A and B are shown apart, each in its own frame.
Chain A
């Protein structure tokens, strides 16, 4: 069983506090994504769970047992690294077999498991190659293969797709999600890409400066962000944040409005502005509108909307989709 619990875990590097006291529980079989801007401590948190870093204080429990001081090898977790971290001097077959060899498994059993993993990951034709002779996507598959053969309690992924090109990234994203659906093993996935977080996660943990800002399902985070930071981080393009007199007119210190929750009209509306840049994506058009007394305002319009640089437009927020925040940035409900 792969449930993981962190209790009052902290991490200091010298004087620097990377993770202030933090509690988190991950249920067996969940796909949890740690997301946040770079330097928010998400990778450190993953490494603390993996045992590659020691906690400064607090408890790490895996499967109900205290694992705080266990070395990584004894935690029954598998990890996929950003750089893939394949063994360059070993063939694909030996790379995948390595964890089983370390577990002193019977050679016949190793062969059976390695072949099984290779066929699931479409690696059968590359078994005798070295990692240097593989493409990025194939290397990624080998890294995943090495992780799945040992049937771990949980998988840890540290930004595994960030070295791949955009098209491959989408493919691998689907493959990892499918893998989770078939294995039903706990997965913890670190990324700075909120699209990956939204599309893959059962549960998202949003981190900033080592603090957990919010934990919830993708839709909870989208519909009910706990604070301005989560509101701005989840959703693409970013939520518009309005402060000052315009926000007070709508009854709050700070107002968040998503681009997709704003109506655009050439004739009338709440705010008048001028189109700066219009990005036509085909399916949608994103307009960056200059409105007096506000920062640049992003709105989503129809794909074939006929608005261009310099056009005058009126914007109207959808009132029941407004996000209200107090002066500390916390959501007002």
Chain B
């Protein structure tokens, strides 16, 4: 009997979990399907789910209208650039907070997190003006700088959590063994923290890839990444859903594929410390 009850419960839980999973995934699936419809079919009511005339004309249209490779390269450079730069700053920062904490370390960590509570639009104007005056508007450099700063609190927090799990005695042993500060960080700390650093890197590439507020506001044509490329297909009038969907699919495909291949690492990274 007990076994039957457990099996029944398992079934219910499985059904619920799948329903939630499909509900979350549905908008992406719908976008994907819409990208293969004609504009007329895209707004048809009732909408057709799978039985419509499949067409790739939206993709052709989008390719001819915009420079996808340029936006793709912009996205790659901006997301990787800001993540790598962020890691270079955050590894020493997290090292010092985890292993040589001062009286104010906890406060600094909270303060860093609190910057994420501010709506970004609150600092848009000053940042816009600074970039305008320094000639950085619509440059990849500007976006790398902004996205590094935006994501730095998360990178530091994640690395801090991973570093806290590393026993301090091992670093002390390295010091006793004659390691300089840099050798300690390079030969001992970093290799031990590789899983943590890898998931931090992945998560931040994804966050930076999808970041839209700053990329839309600080770029025009030259440095626009894929988020701006998607936005350029939205317009106040006319039919654009199918083309917008095609652009979205092209923009998110690389990051979804990256996420798919690294999901094990991501899940391990995000639950690290929570489940012992």
Contact = CB atoms under 8 A, between A and B. Distances in A.
A78 interface: yes
B169 A83 contact: yes
Contacts of A52: 172, 175-176
Contacts of A98: 174, 177, 179, 187
A103 B170 contact: no
A79 interface: yes
Interface string B154-181: 0000000000000101101111111110
B172 A85 contact: yes
A71 B173 contact: no
Contacts of B178: 73, 99, 102-103, 150
Main secondary structure of the interface of B (DSSP, over half): helix
B125 interface: no
Interface string A77-91: 111011101111100
B179 A73 contact: yes
B176 A73 contact: yes
B211 to A, nearest CB: 33
The contact size tier of chain A is: 20 to 34
A51 B175 CA distance: 9
Interface residues of B, number: 18
A72 interface: yes
Nearest to A88: B192
Contacts of A50: 176
Contacts of B176: 50, 52, 72-73, 77-79, 156
In this complex, the member of A73, A82, A83, A99 whose beta carbon has the largest number of chain B beta carbons within 10 angstroms is: A73
Contacts, number: 61
A146 interface: yes
A76 B220 CA distance: 60
Contacts of B173: 79, 81, 85-87, 146
Contacts of A156: 176
Interface string B185-201: 00110011010000000
Contacts of B187: 98
B175 A83 contact: no
Contacts of A102: 177-180, 183
Contacts of A85: 167, 169-170, 172-173
Contacts of B169: 81-83, 85
A86 B179 CA distance: 14
Contacts of B188: 87
A71 B175 contact: yes
A150 B177 contact: yes
A89 B177 contact: no
Contacts of B167: 83, 85
Interface string A58-74: 00000000000001110
A80 B180 CA distance: 19
Nearest to B194: A89
A243 B5 CA distance: 69
Nearest to A47: B172
28 contacts: A50-B176, A51-B175, A52-B175, A71-B175, A72-B172, A72-B175, A72-B176, A73-B175, A73-B178, A77-B176, A79-B172, A81-B173, A82-B169, A83-B167, A85-B172, A87-B188, A88-B170, A89-B191, A89-B194, A98-B174, A98-B179, A99-B177, A99-B178, A102-B177, A102-B180, A146-B173, A146-B177, A150-B177
Interface of A: 50-52, 71-73, 77-79, 81-83, 85-89, 98-99, 102-103, 146, 150, 156
Given A79-B172, A86-B173, A146-B173, 7 more contacts: A78-B176, A79-B176, A83-B169, A88-B170, A98-B179, A102-B180, A146-B177
By Cβ-Cβ distance, the 5 closest A-B pairs, closest first, are A85-B173, A99-B177, A102-B178, A85-B169, A72-B175
